[in-house]
Amino acid sequence: MFAAENGLRGDPRLQAISEAIRVVPHFPKPGIMFQDITTLLLDHKAFKHTVDIFVDRYRNMDISVVAGVEARGFMFGPSIALAIGAKFVPLRKPRKLPGEVISEAYELEYGTDCLEMHVGAVQPGERALVIDDLIATGGTLSAAITLLERVGAEVVECGCVVGLPEVKGQCRLNGKPLYILVEPREINNCC
């Protein structure tokens, strides 16, 4: 579900967020229109709007875990977790976490990858929110959901800053709700 369809239609914060995201054509490979949220982070008002909208949505959902997907989920997840009184759990790429981990492999739009989480970071019965910057195919979020559910967490929702209007990946999320702030921007005369 897009934020504009959930009571935020016409909210100027959504336009500010969208306009703060740079589009980089043909990155990381030809045909990809990369939605670069690093420029959103440079705009402190748009960054605050992003976090505030997520916090407003999740503050009363009894979420105890905010799981951020490496690496861009790390930019939003900790702020959201602090504001709603939850812990932040990083879901990392392979061999980045010391100690015992559990893993989940997945397919990307343009390759394959794996997420890892510390054993014991999430307890059975905890209510979790997964945060990432973008959903395209849904592979990364699906892997995150599977990882959290394997340790007994209840995944309440996935939240992304950017998502495709048709959100083809939502069917891969095993029925978990998906909340998206803005659609991807296109750039004119890029190709």
Task: Say if 190 falls within a structural domain.
Answer: no
Give the pLDDT of residue 77: 98
Q: pLDDT per residue over 105-123, tens digit each?
A: 987 766 789 999 999 999 9
Catalytic residue numbers read 72, 109
Task: Say if 84 falls within a structural domain.
Answer: yes
Task: Say if 189 falls within a structural domain.
Answer: no
Task: Say if 42 falls within a structural domain.
Answer: yes
Q: How many distinct structural domains can be found in the chain?
A: 1
Q: pLDDT per residue over 116-156, tens digit each?
A: 999 999 999 999 999 999 998 788 999 999 999 999 999 99
- How many angstroms separate the Cα of 62 from the Cα of each of 9, 35, 49, 129, 144? 26, 31, 22, 10, 19
Residue 125 backbone zone (phi > 0: left; psi -120 to 50: alpha; other: beta): left
- With contact defined as beta carbons under 8 Å apart, do 50 and 37 qualify? no
User: Which residues of the chain, if any, have pLDDT below 50?
Assistant: 189-191
Structure tokens at 33: 């229109």
Give the pLDDT of residue 190: 45
